[in-house]
Amino acid sequence: MLRKFSYVRASSIKEAVTAAARPGARILAGGTDLLVCLRNGILAAETVVSINGIKELKGIGPKPGGGFRIGALTTLTEIAENKQLPENYTALAQAAAAAASPQLRNQGTIGGNLCQRPRCWYFRGDFQCLRKSGDQCFAMSGENQNHAIFGWDRCAMVHPSDTAAALVAFDAKVTIAGPKGVRTIPLASFFVLPKESVLKENVLAPGEFITEVSLDAPRPGTRSVYRKVRERGAFDFALAGAAVVLTKSADTVQSARIVLSGVAPAPWRAAAAEQALAGKRLGDESIAAAAAAAVKDANPFGDNEFKVALVRGILEEVLSGMA
Amino acid sequence: MPDATPKPWGETTIVGKPIPRVDGDERLSGKATYSLDLYLPDMLYGATVRCPYPHANVKKVDLSEALRMPGVRAALSDADKEANIPWYGAPGGRSASRLFDTHCRFAGEEVAVIVAETQQQAWDAVRQVRVEYEQLKFTTDFEAALKSDAPPLHDGGNLAANPVNVTRGDVAKGFAEADLVLEETYRTPTQIHTPLETFGSVAKWDGDELTVWDTTQGVFPVQNSLANLLKMPLSKVRVIGHYMGGGFGAKLSLSKYTVMAALLARKTSRPVKLFLTREESFLCVGNRPAHAMTLKAGVKKDGTLTALEFTGVGEVGGYPGGSNAGYQVQDLWKCPNIHVVERSAMTPMGPARAFRAPGFPQGNWALEQMMDALAEKLGMDPIDLRLKNYSPMCQVEQKPYTSAGIPQLLTEGAKAFGWAEARARAKGKGPLLRGVGVASGMWGSPGRPPSTAIVRYYLDGSVNLNMGAADLGTGTKTVMAQVVSEELGVPLERIGIEWADTGTTQYTSASGGSKTVASDSPAVRAAALDVKRQLLALAAEQLKVPAESLTLKDTEISGPGGSPKVTTRELRTLQTQQVLVGVGIRGPNPTDKSVRPFSTHFAEVEVNTRTGEVRVVRMLAMHDSGRVMNAATFANQCLGGMTQGIGYATTERRVVDSNTGTMVNSNWYDYKIPTSKDIPPDLDVMPIDLHDHECDTTSTKGLGEPATIPVATAVANAFYNATGVRIKEGPITPAKVLMALAQRKG
């Protein structure tokens, strides 16, 4: 069922980069997405490069000079149940806990979660869609209730990651190893929108992979929440979700970060909503204004109009709970 | 000759008790051999080539490249003479298709099959088959499919069967007498069976004898159809259906994979295993048809129904079949004037199959939401409206019921659920609203003949129960062993069971229609009684006392006060014969009365008006299914029924891309059956036993289907109670809730 491929189990980042730079190579971490994609013929692989033997890619810990690092191989369960990260990072633990199912969270890694392919049922099904080098996005006039209301262009898939929204809200950075060396970039600039490319969801070049995610030490007074709405209680992707990070002094919001999941081809920062809260007392009025601002530029099509109300509802609920 | 009408049980000693499954250990530990677990020496593995288009003509099938693939041993397509087997019945006894008909009428239809040394090689080879298709026009809208300009799937159009047209009384007169008339259109989605065990068979030939291991609810119907299609005598076709991982109606009859496995096993002279993948099982082995139902109801101020008029269209998929949903409209509530018109539409989608109460959850969705709406308009409690219209008579058969516990289900259920208090409670403030709902339901047919069972009594006092019934995972083996134990006093651990094997067990119909216990337990009881009678007769002869004065308990037979006494081991005739064989045959149902099981479910839901999330908080399942044979398996059936119903109410539906005519959610993450997080821990089950001794000799009426019929409607009514908004098209998803609430706000 799987087409033949060669298998490399790398023991160092350098070895992995070398193997991953071969044409048609794929990085294997938890395998919860890659193996399904290979089995279903969505991806092809000449070489599968396992990075699971690279010890330095594992675990959560403090970073020299402050903040925290999360190795790319850290499982979602480890993040959901971690004791190392301060309470201010609750949204990240909540996002990890809201993903998939217990078995998948035990196996799936944070690096893989950020790099997972779209869950659009056309992309996953037997449809030669744009993202598989076809000539159309079937969702445009098809079954598009799960699709994007922000940031879509020729393709209307939504980015499936929960943790990505939380990490972007925390201004996380990702460190990427590759044939040209190591680089660290903000996670917010890691993702690629359809207007730039419909063939990839992130900036990784051939041979590159994420080695770690890093977080700055939280500012005092910061609280965070991740809220995900899905049709069923587990093993389901977000219809919409929001990671909200607020820094307050007394009743007043000093700064806000609001990043939406399930509504755009990348984690979607609701900058207008953040502005609507900044410097305001967190109360009914500012909450309503922020929720409205978040969807001001929403562009639903077909059957995904409900997501506009859903984003407003989620933000009203989350912000009211933080007031 | 066995006595067909033994006295009803009074107090029972083992029947009714929550006995753990007799095969629980092997099922839970993985030791049970399901058909998929069977590995025979030299076995080949099959994989199927399927049409990717909803409506197409196969112009050419080129298997040459596939046959050259490593490990590939044989293939079959429409070009092979032995594959010229009629499939899908059509009106007039004709068939609508062939095993690999070149006119394909749904995406996923079988075009060819390949066997190879390994499953992976077979799958790989399927990808190398080159098929040339001519795509044909289609519509996936089942209501539009019946219009005259719709592209026809079959000569004569897309109407699948003659329309049902039932009239009782005069609806025009009934509506004229009504103080209130409501009319609404309700819609239900296509639900997929998704049993945990997928679909498939293993076939093996010994000379001219065929043995098939099948995952089936009925080994005898499969044997019959297979023998008929392969033109073989029944005696040469053996079908074994031991451990089963669920069917829900999708495994009632012969499937194509079984025939393909048998043909390829014959062709290759090797055993063949052909199992569908999970994805395939979403496409071609059945579903619960979607329905569009318009219901018009007339009622007097005091709640008396005066007329019900039901117009329904159901979607049966690519081939003829019925999808009727109007039974409960005719029978659940007393109503003198009825008009039911039903049509079944064909669309280029996977054909429907019976699914846990075929038509009933759909019709219930319309009827019981309408009852809820009528009650509100009349200012009546929905319980009172139903009690007002209780019918002690089966109106379809025009006979009184042997028992009909609807009043008890409603009143005792309301008490146990705290209905009045829950309705009076505040719906909640702010974004979280609570509501409660109720719906009743009934199933439309009883347990019945045929069923023959055999009980063998061995000299060592152990017993063999031999029955044809399948155990779908519902506990049939356990319940039937309890019946034997009840009559003979033999402990369960000394009862061996042979079941669901046409080669060794006796005929019974498929396990479906909620009738296994009510059809087979009387036969098993009669067989046990036959053995008991023989044992007592032998003892009487030996002890020279009348048989009537003796009682049997396990291996001991004694007279009044314990004397005279003899053990079964000491019976001389048994010592000579080594075995006594008791035969039990299911007797007929009463002719002057109707047998029906009933249920009423109560639900409480919480609705998050900001996010559209609907959470079922608790449910109570009230059941009049006659005697409870095993309190644990009874509760299990109800919990399963509620789980499936909650899925039907909130998440489950086939999603079809109308442009390409293909299903987009044929997998377990996009087709959302409930998880443990979606099912509340607070699910209660309360049986009502009316001691119905007329329905059959074990006083049982059937449970499997009543357990799911009213679930989704109770949830829908609870949703309405919480929000004041009625969602008439299921399932009730966050998307629909948010759009409906936004509309209400205006």
- The full DSSP string for B198-234 is --EEEEEEETTEEEEEE--S-HHHHHHHHHHHTT--G
Q: Does the distance separating the beta carbons of A101 and B675 come in below 8 Å?
A: yes
CA atoms of A292 and A278, how far apart (whole Å): 15
Task: Please identify which residue in the block is written with the tokens 């319940």.
Answer: B479
Q: What is the pLDDT of residues B107-133, one digit of tens each?
A: 999 999 999 999 999 999 999 999 999
Residue B564, preceding peptide bond in cis (omega within 30° of 0) = yes
Q: How far apart are the first and last CA of chain B?
A: 74
* B79 Cα distance to chain centroid: 36
Strands ordered across the beta sheet of B432-442 = B432-442, B598-608, B614-624, B683-687
d(CA A188, CA A193): 11
- The CA-based angle B614-B618-B619, given to 5 degrees, is 110
Residue B3 Cα distances to A102, B465, B519, B529, angstroms: 56, 18, 16, 8
Answer whether A317 sits within 8 Å of B650, measured CB to CB: no
Q: Looking at the domain B35-136+194-284, which fold is it?
A: Aldehyde Oxidoreductase; domain 4 (3.30.365)
pLDDT, tens digit, for every residue of A191-209? 999 999 999 999 999 999 9
Task: Give the confidence band of B428 by pLDDT, cuts at 50, 70, 90.
Answer: confident
Is residue B277 classed as helix, strand or coil in its secondary structure?
Answer: coil
CB A94 within 8 A of CB A166: yes
Stretch B90-119: mean pLDDT? 95
Cβ neighbours of B662 in A, within 8 Å: 125-126
Q: Which CATH class is domain B24-32+447-585?
A: alpha beta
Among A258, A313, A246, CA closest to A282: A246
Instruction: Give the residue from chain B lying closest to A314, CA to CA.
Output: B611
Do domains B35-136+194-284 and B390-444+596-746 share one topology? The answer is: yes
**CA of A214 vs chain B CAs: smallest distance (Å):** 31
Nearest Cβ partner for B664 among A2, A122, A141: A122
DSSP state of B630: B
Nearest to B678 among A1, A233, A239 (CB): A233
Helices and strands, counts by H and E, chain B: 18, 32
What CA–CA distance (Å, rounded) separates A164 from A76? 12
Taking an 8 Å cut-off on Cβ atoms, the answer to whether A232 and B670 are in contact is no
CA distance B107 to chain A (A): 11
To 10 degrees, what angle do helices B476-488 and B516-543 make?
A: 20
Measured in angstroms, the CA of A311 and the nearest CA of chain B are apart by: 8
Closest residue in A to B609 (Cα–Cα): A313
pLDDT of residue B470: 97
Tell me which H or E stretch contains A122: helix A121-124
Amino acid residing at B697:
T
Rounded Cα distance between A63 and A143, Å, is 45
Structure tokens at B506: 């006796």
Q: What is the pLDDT of residues B356-397, one digit of tens each?
A: 999 999 999 999 999 999 999 999 999 999 999 999 999 999
Could A309 and B670 be called an inter-chain contact, meaning their C-beta atoms sit closer than 8 Å?
no
- Choose the mutation target among A4, A231, A295 for the interface with B, i.e. most B CBs under 10 Å: A231
Which residues have a Cβ under 8 Å from the Cβ of B186 and sit 6 or more positions away? Answer: B291, B292, B293, B294, B295, B365, B366, B369, B728, B729
CA distance linking residue B352 with residue A238, whole number of Å: 31
- Contact flag B738-A122 (C-beta cutoff 8 Å): no
What count of other Cβ atoms lies within 10 Å of the Cβ of residue B13?
Answer: 12
Q: Is B601 strand, coil or helix?
A: strand
Closest Cα in chain B to A121: B664
DSSP B356-424: SSTTHHHHHHHHHHHHHHHHHHHT--HHHHHHHT--SEETTTTEEBS---HHHHHHHHHHHHTHHHHHH
Cβ-based contacts of A1 with chain B (< 8 Å)? 119-120, 123-124
Report which residue type is found at A281: R
Q: What is the CATH number of domain B390-444+596-746?
A: 3.30.365.10
Nearest one of A235, A187, A77, A289 to B676, comparing CA atoms: A235
Q: Is B118 on the interface with A (CB under 8 A)?
A: no
Task: List the structure tokens of B9.
Answer: 């049980």
Q: Band the pLDDT of B1: cuts 50, 70, 90.
A: very low
Return mean pLDDT, chain B.
Answer: 97
Measure the CA–CA gap between A14 and A22, rounded to whole angstroms: 13
CB of A29 closer than 8 Å to CB of A114? no
Please tell me which residue of chain A has the smallest CA distance to B655: A143
CA–CA separation, B337 and B308 (whole Å) = 6
Residue B298 token pair: 């007339």
Least CB–CB distance from B677: residue in A1, A233, A237 = A233
Q: Inform me whether the pLDDT recorded for B3 exceeds 60.
A: no
Angle between helices A284-294 and A306-322 (to 10 degrees): 150
Q: Tell which residue, B639, B629, B648, has the closest CA to residue B698.
A: B629
Judge whether residue B2 has pLDDT over 50: no
A145/B735 touch (CB, cutoff 8 Å), yes or no: yes
Beta-strand pair A209-215/A240-249: unpaired
**Beta-strand relationship, A222-229 and A181-186:** unpaired
* Residue B745 Cα, gap to closest chain A Cα (Å): 12
Residue length of chain B = 746
Beta carbons within 10 angstroms of residue B193's beta carbon: 22
Is residue A31 exposed (0-12), middle (13-18) or buried (19+ Cβ within 10 Å)? middle
**What is the CB neighbour count within 10 angstroms for residue A5?**
15
The confidence score (pLDDT) of residue B52 equals 98
**Residue of B128, B657, B732 for testing the chain A interface, max A β-carbons within 10 Å:** B657
The CA distances from residue B587 to A195, B415, B628, in Å, are 73, 38, 20
Tell whether the model's pLDDT for residue B4 goes beyond 80. no
Name the DSSP class of A90. H
* pLDDT confidence bin for B730, thresholds 50/70/90: very high
Domain ranges of chain B: 24-32+447-585, 35-136+194-284, 390-444+596-746
Is A211 in contact with A175 (CB distance < 8 Å)? yes
What ipTM was estimated for this complex? 0.97
Say what the alpha-carbon torsion angle B626, B630, B631, B633 is, to the nearest 10 degrees: -110
Q: Which of B611, B675, B727 to mutate to test the interface with A (most CBs of A within 10 A)?
A: B611
Identify residues of A whose CB sits under 8 angstroms from chain B CBs. 1-2, 101, 119, 121-122, 124-127, 138, 141-143, 145, 229, 231-237, 239, 303, 305-306, 309-310, 312-314, 316-317
Residues B299, B303, B305, B311, CA torsion sign: positive
- Pick the closest to residue B155 from B110, B86, B100, B97 (CA basis): B97
For residues B93 and B21, what is the distance between their CA atoms, to the nearest angstrom? 42
- CB within 8 Å: B431 and A314: no
Chain A contact for B81 (CB, 8 A cutoff): no
User: CB–CB of A226/A165 below 8 Å?
Assistant: yes
User: Which stretches does DSSP call E strand in A41-172?
Assistant: 47-50, 60-62, 68-71
Q: In this structure, are residues B323 and B436 in contact, taking their beta carbons and an 8 Å threshold?
A: no
> Given an 8 Å threshold on Cβ–Cβ distance, is A233 in contact with B733?
no
Residue whose entry in the numeric block shows the structure tokens 């081939």: B319
Per the CB < 8 A criterion, the answer to whether B315 and B189 are in contact is: no
Residue B512 identity: G
State which of A283-297, B86-100, B417-431 shows the largest mean pLDDT. A283-297
CB B528 within 8 A of CB B698: no
Contact call for residues A206 and A49 (beta carbons, < 8 A) = no
**Are A54 and A12 a contacting pair, CB within 8 Å?**
yes
Residue B5 has pLDDT above 90, yes or no: no
Whether residue B657 and residue A313 make contact (CB cut-off 8 A), yes or no, is no
Return the residue in A129, A306, A311, A320 with the most chain B beta carbons within 10 A, the one to mutate for interface testing: A306
* pLDDT less than 50: residues of chain A: none
Distances (CA, A) of B645 to B361, B638, B639, B713: 8, 10, 10, 9
Hey, what amino acid is at B651? T
In whole angstroms, give the CA distance from residue B239 to residue B219.
6
Q: In angstroms, what separates the C-alpha of B674 from chain A's closest C-alpha?
A: 7
B residues 354-383 lying closer than 8 A (beta carbon) to A = none
Task: Name the closest residue on chain A to residue B735, using Cα atoms.
Answer: A306
**Beta strands across the sheet bearing B452-458:** B495-499, B463-467, B452-458, B579-585
Apex CA B700: angle with CA B696 and CA B704, to 5°? 135
Strand A47-50 and strand A6-9: pairing?
parallel
Q: Which residues of B touch A136 (CB under 8 A)?
A: none
